[in-house]
Structure 1
Amino acid sequence: MKETESKQVLDSSHLGTLEELLSDMKYGSITLVIQDGKIVQIDKTEKYRIKN
């Protein structure tokens, strides 16, 4: 790929999915898996804090 060309990795459906995952998350992480310049998987790891 030339420097002047650009790939769009995020499209509106990806952004909507990310917004939905983030909206109810308090602690955790989201990992994007990229293959050939495209998102092929989104992993969400959520943590729950237990107070003693």
Structure 2
Amino acid sequence: MTEGKDDRTGRQAQFAESDPLHLVREALAQIRFGGIQLTVHQGKLVQMEVTEKHRFV
């Protein structure tokens, strides 16, 4: 992937330049309850899904 505009948000897409482990660490630091699912293809991290749960008990 190269740097370019993201059509949906107008933000710069910088996935190729960013460190995937840094993004995982950021997600772990921000989430209180939930899960992080990593998708790997041919030994490379290609996707991260963060599901956060809000508990009202």
- Structure 1 or 2: more strand by fraction: 2
Partner of 1:46: 52
What is the Cα-based RMSD across aligned positions, in Å?
Answer: 1.4
Aligned residues: 40
Q: What TM-score do you get using the length of structure 1 for normalisation?
A: 0.68
Instruction: Report how far residue 22 of structure 1 moved.
Output: 1.0
Q: Give the TM-score taking structure 2 as reference length.
A: 0.63
Shift of 1:42: 0.4
Q: Which is higher, the Rg of structure 1 or of structure 2? A: 1
1:1-52 alignment, distance < 5 Å: 13-51=19-57
Identity %: 38
Provide the rounded CA distance (Å) in 2 between the counterparts of 1:13 and 1:37.
15
Which consecutive unaligned segments of at least 5 residues does structure 1 have? 1-11
